[in-house]
Structure 1
Amino acid sequence: MCICINCKHIKYCKTYSFIESKHKIKTHDNLHTFIPNHTIIQVNLKKQTRSYILDWDLIECLSFIEKPGSWISEN
């Protein structure tokens, strides 16, 4: 599981934006200006019935600051 969902920087992070793009999730803002330090992205190959999918997760980041629920929209 991606650690980003509990990080203070999720709404501004370029790495999280990259991972979202790999999951084909579009973000509608251009606020991704934060570049985190020393990140490790894990890519898992998962077999589905007749195909394979790639699952992208950020598993380590030195810029991680815990803030549970940061991914929840404040609307």
Structure 2
Amino acid sequence: DVARVEIVGIRHYSSFLDMLTSEDYRRVIPRAQSREEAVAEYSKYYSAADQEMYHTLAIEIKLVTNM
């Protein structure tokens, strides 16, 4: 499937915990039952060292139209 989206916001955070404290974790990882579970999901792919080096972005998008 393909969809056209518009980026409506980009927010910078120092870690996934910081991001998921500020952002609603249910919008970021809908199946997560808690903020801690959402952080654990990201931690499977990105280490604490990666987060410290690269930081974290929350990219907010809006559906414009289906293609």
Where is the helix percentage greater, Structure 1 or Structure 2? 2
Larger relative contact order (CA 8 Å, sep ≥ 6): 2
User: Scaled by the length of structure 1, what TM-score is found?
Assistant: 0.26
Higher strand share: 2
